[in-house]
Structure 1
Amino acid sequence: MAFTAADVKNLREMTGVGMMDCKKALTETDGDMDKAVEYLREKGLAKAAKKAGRIAAEGVSYALVENGVGALVEVNCETDFCAKSAPFVAFVKDIAKVVADNDPADVDTLMNCKYPGTELTVSETMPEKVMSIGENLQIRRFVRFAENTSVGYVHAGGKIGVLVNLAVEGGVDATEIGKNVAMQIAALNPRFWDKSQVTEDVLAEEKKVALALMDSDPKMASKPAQVKEKIVMGKMNKFYEENCLLQMEFVRGDLFSGTVEQYIADAGKKLGGSVKFLTAVRYQTGEGIEKKEENFAAEVAAQMNQGK
């Protein structure tokens, strides 16, 4: 069965695979469109298997809020160039939608959910995406908030993604409040949300360090124990201000002067309602993934030797 350039174009639009691969698929299947799609799917499986062992430490963290449900996902690829490409970004957004719509328990469950706009599961779609995008792809993690009010924020094209969850009363729109808080979380990455979350172990360690520093200072070492204790307690307040979101100084000084907690309460009151911070999740894309060290000179030398 003969095929035309229009057939190649249609197959590309159906699968997202490159023109040359589509042409080859139609050639191998005598122009049968259905068989060509199946051919590409099988090739995609093989290609995905080959790429599966390659390190995927780049990618995008993306936050979605839709129909009152918030979702934050991190999807990884191999290169920053790929992470910025339209097909990859569209794929990440689709995965966020799968999370929001299906409430999967974990990544394995997510892989068995239907991929948007198709009858295929995410797992069945992945090989095609690997083939069309051209890199190893990994869905790393996600979180979903179905209760209260969620506000998402994506920083630097997906280098950092934040999803904030707020308790809102009075029917007010807390989107701007949530975004400002999310921006602070993205920028400063607090260890704790509130000082009540700081454990006794952490406090004990901080006090120990503070006392050791005083004992190593000749001017402070001779001071009475009760004076040292008072100084340490002052340092603990400083610790809260530097490590706990709600006790931190709100960075948008042009909007409000005070702590983040005070900003949220004041901004909610000005809107005619009440807003309280409940929790948040911050993903920094690729954090904790060991990246492959590229040695370009060695790579070029190896290629030259292969050609001899």
Structure 2
Amino acid sequence: MANFSAADVKKLRELTGAGMMDCKKALDESEGDVEKAVELLRIKGQKGVAKREGRDASNGAVVSLIEGTSGVLVELNCETDFVAKGDRFVAVANELAAFVAKTSPADIDAALASEIEPGKTVQQFVDEANAGLGEKIVFRRFAQFNDGNYVNVYMHRTDPDLPPAIGVMVELDGENEDVAKGVAQHIAAFGPNFLSREEIPAEVLDNERRIAEATAREEGKPEAALPKIVEGRVTGFVKENAVLEQAYARDNKKTVQQVLNEAGVKLVRFVRFRVGA
């Protein structure tokens, strides 16, 4: 049995993000040499990448990068919150955000197939992180706004010890930091799915009408009152799901649309990422 301390195990975990038992085994094999243990974990990690494919990567981080009128939001997933809060994991996420900002890939598949450095694809880069951190790492998704409008973000930590788990990026047709931040915070809290009523697909609204009518009939509502009841419930659905029609988080006497109108700006689009959702 090699001679190493609990502090050595802790140091190795912080350096690699590997599990406690894996760190103990590596220190045993390296006879307590932390640097050799790091190498052993990297080697074993590369061999274990395929074995981790079926694991659940529901933890992670959302990171952002704003450069002038261009903004990027990235979600990177891992298996445990221990790895998620590590500097190495967050550094990988930030490198991916910088790559997206620089190359503007069409979608996640195009991003993974692109070279992040000569001879190395993004997928290979993620696999190396997978190996080095000892967990399944997944570059799940990204969003990029770069049409020349004003862009800002709000990043929310659900746990003060972990990186942001919710990220919202908004694009306005004019610069207004306070309104952008306020609307982004509102979206983070309420999670709307659409910008406006007009953006909700017709089939979604038709389905809500069917559900509302069936529910009203089940409740025994009068036949003559059904049209009004149905439309009222559909309107309620729209207010729950279209951000412009929602009551503003900072002042529920106004809608988000009214707040934007008073500020003289338009919300062009938004994106909201929540880790694992």
* TM-score, normalised via structure 1 length: 0.68
Kindly indicate whether the alpha-carbon contact (under 8 Å) linking 2:73 and 2:143 is maintained by their aligned counterparts in 1: yes
- Structure 2 counterpart of 1:233: 231
* TM-score, normalised via structure 2 length: 0.75
Partner Cα distance (1:252, 1:96) in 2: 30
Q: Does 1:158 align with 2:148?
A: no
Identity across matched positions, percent? 34
Aligned Cα root-mean-square deviation (Å): 3.0
Question: How far is the alpha carbon of 1:149 from its aligned partner?
Answer: 1.9
Kindly indicate whether the alpha-carbon contact (under 8 Å) linking 1:41 and 1:127 is maintained by their aligned counterparts in 2: no
- Structure 2 counterpart of 1:277: 267
Match for 2:249: what amino acid?
V
- Structure 2 counterpart of 1:22: 35
- Structure 2 counterpart of 1:45: 46
Q: Does 1:122 align with 2:118?
A: no
Residue 275 of structure 1 aligns to a residue in which SS? coil
Kindly indicate whether the alpha-carbon contact (under 8 Å) linking 1:249 and 1:258 is maintained by their aligned counterparts in 2: yes
- Structure 2 counterpart of 1:208: 210
- Structure 2 counterpart of 1:260: 256
Partner Cα distance (1:285, 1:104) in 2: 21
- Structure 2 counterpart of 1:290: none
Q: 1:120 to 1:176 in 2, by over 3 A?
A: farther
Q: 1:99 to 1:207 in 2, by over 3 A?
A: same
Partner Cα distance (2:95, 2:138) in 1: 14
Q: What whole-Å deviation, never above 9, does each CA across 1:176-205 have from its counterpart, x for those lacking one?
A: 222221222222112321011233333333
Q: 1:207 to 1:56 in 2, by over 3 A?
A: closer
Q: Does 1:247 align with 2:237?
A: no
Kindly indicate whether the alpha-carbon contact (under 8 Å) linking 2:126 and 2:139 is maintained by their aligned counterparts in 1: no
Q: Does 1:178 align with 2:180?
A: yes
Aligned counterparts, 1:69-108, within 5 A: 69-108=70-109
Match for 1:282: what amino acid?
R
Residue 264 of structure 1 aligns to a residue in which SS? helix
Question: How far is the alpha carbon of 1:139 from its aligned partner?
Answer: 0.7
Kindly indicate whether the alpha-carbon contact (under 8 Å) linking 1:71 and 1:144 is maintained by their aligned counterparts in 2: yes
- Structure 2 counterpart of 1:192: 194
Question: How far is the alpha carbon of 1:66 from its aligned partner?
Answer: 1.7
Residue 56 of structure 1 aligns to a residue in which SS? coil
Where structure 1 has 5 or more consecutive residues not aligned to the other structure, the ranges are 1-15, 26-35, 269-273, 288-308
Greater strand percent: which structure? Answer: 2
Find 1:167's aligned residue among 173, 186, 200. Answer: 173
Match for 1:125: what amino acid?
F
Q: What whole-Å deviation, never above 9, does each CA across 1:232-256 have from its counterpart, x for those lacking one?
A: 3333333322221100110112xx7
